[in-house]
Amino acid sequence: MGQEVSAVPETTKPENLSERSLPAVADYIKSGKARKVVVLTGAGISTAAGIPDFRSPETGLYANLAALELEEPEDVFSLPFFKENPKPFYVLAKDLYPGKFHPTISHVFISLLATKGLLYQLFTQNIDCLERAAGVPADLIVEAHGSFASQRCIDCKTPYPDDKMREHVSRAEVPHCEKCNGLVKPDIVFFHENLPSLFFDRRHMAEEADLILVLGTSLTVHPFAGLPDLAPFEVPRVLFNMERVGSLGSQPDDVLVLGDCDTGVRQLASALGWREELEAEWRKLVGDEEADRQLEGSSKRQVELHDEVSQLVHDVDKVLHVHDVSSSGSSSPSPEAVAEKEPIAATQQEVQQNESASVKESVETTTTTLTEEVKVSGA
């Protein structure tokens, strides 16, 4: 946990850090060289809060949905599928809707960076709004894949009232437009939809960063996945993740902190002399009971996540079954059968994406819509 490793040859000296380690990153920040910290987050930052990520083999949403009768598990977040059958999305939305979950210490660390005037911009792929809940100022956040904060008709684009949306989501019911009866969808970016313009307006801030922190993301979805590569070569980049991802670890000032991101963040906070303040802020925000729950052994949290995701998959399976029976008469596997199925491993495509991402040119991407495909320059 929180183990620092480097893929750069030992003999290659970093340019800005005294060495590739968290204490050296802390010294770099304390020396005042990091005034523009850009933070990039993904679903892994929220797993300790009880929200499943997408691609972890045991507990990831897609990994488990793969057992169902969906062509691709990602279909739940695709517009053509949604138009055809919006129910599975709303079943997931009921469980993932903001309000149920509490920030982790990693979310609060980002807020602390903002309090100390060091956070230049946070780019998050998450739709759980936990960075806001942790107190990160709204003007420092780019929700690159949208959020549940607003919703509208997919046909006439008329906004739909928040209170009615909340009611529908709490019952996993599909809301319809009050004007044209079209389907209502939260302003979450589905595959092949455009990212919010704010993402493109602020993307240059990653180029201007003097420190990049990447937390809890597989960096498989573009154009977000290209952000770490926009920073100049000598800018220190720190990865807090279970696994090495993207091109992180290939540059002399990259520090890889592999393991649970909360552990890594605590180590950095200790090295900065911020640990006490961080823990106190977090406990004040989430309360002792939730803090202790999140701190329980990671194996217990894994079991909780596993139960959560099994229940979600079961619920999605139920609505797919209803849909299948009415349309084609085919049946879905029982929840027990689903639970017994082997979780999928990372696809070959994802592996290639990670490898491709290490090629610097690949980040000169023209991608404007959410996609799992890497688009190289000029493609």
- Residues of the binding site for Zn(2+): 153, 156, 177, 180
Q: Which of 14, 60, 73, 103 binds ligand OAD (CB under 6 A)?
A: 60
Neighbour tally for 98: CB within 10 Å: 16
| Cβ atoms of 184 and 337 closer than 8 Å | no
Q: Of how many residues is the chain composed? A: 379
268 contacts ligand OAD (rule: CB under 6 A) = no
75 contacts ligand OAD (rule: CB under 6 A) = no
Residues 6+ positions from 368 with CB-CB distance below 8 Å: 194, 195, 200, 223
| Cβ atoms of 242 and 302 closer than 8 Å | no
Query: Least distance (Å) from ligand OAD to the CB of residue 277?
Result: 22
Query: Least distance (Å) from ligand OAD to the CB of residue 15?
Result: 27
Six token digits for residue 46: 């929220």
Q: Which of 17, 29, 44, 186 binds ligand OAD (CB under 6 A)?
A: 44
Instruction: Look up 145 and say whether it is catalytic.
Output: yes
78 contacts ligand OAD (rule: CB under 6 A) = no
Query: Least distance (Å) from ligand OAD to the CB of residue 318?
Result: 21
Q: Which is nearer to ligand OAD, 26 or 219 (CB)?
A: 219
Q: Which of 107, 145, 168, 222 is catalytic?
A: 145
Question: How many Å separate Cα 277 from the centre of its chain?
Answer: 25
Six token digits for residue 93: 């939305």
The torsion angles phi and psi of 143, rounded to 5 degrees, stand at -90, 90
Query: Least distance (Å) from ligand OAD to the CB of residue 10?
Result: 25
Neighbour tally for 311: CB within 10 Å: 12
| Angle of CA points 112, 274, 43, to nearest 5° | 50
Interacting residues with ligand OAD between 106 and 165 (CB under 6 A): 125, 145
Q: What is the dihedral of CA 59, 60, 66, 70, to 10 degrees?
A: 130
261 contacts ligand OAD (rule: CB under 6 A) = yes
Q: Give the strand pairing for 119-124 and 141-143.
A: parallel
Using CB under 6 A, which of the segments 3-11, 154-162, 242-250, 279-287 binds ligand OAD?
242-250
State which residue has the least CB distance to ligand OAD: 44
Taking alpha carbons only, the member of 327, 288, 236, 293 closest to residue 16 is 236
Binding residues, as ranges, are 43-47, 53-55, 125-128, 153, 156, 177, 180, 217-218, 241-243, 261
Q: Which helix (H) or strand (E) holds 65?
A: helix 61-65
Q: Which of 25, 48, 70, 248 binds ligand OAD (CB under 6 A)?
A: 48
Interacting residues with ligand OAD between 212 and 231 (CB under 6 A): 216-218, 220-221
Query: Least distance (Å) from ligand OAD to the CB of residue 107?
Result: 12
| Cβ atoms of 142 and 122 closer than 8 Å | yes
Taking alpha carbons only, the member of 20, 14, 17 closest to residue 31 is 17
How many residues of this chain interact with ligand OAD, rule: CB under 6 A?
A: 28
Q: Which of 53, 128, 143, 210 binds ligand OAD (CB under 6 A)?
A: 53
The residues that touch ligand OAD, with contacts defined as CB under 6 A, are 42-44, 47-48, 53-56, 60, 74, 77, 125, 145, 188-189, 216-218, 220-221, 241-243, 245, 260-261, 370
Q: Which residues are catalytic?
A: 145
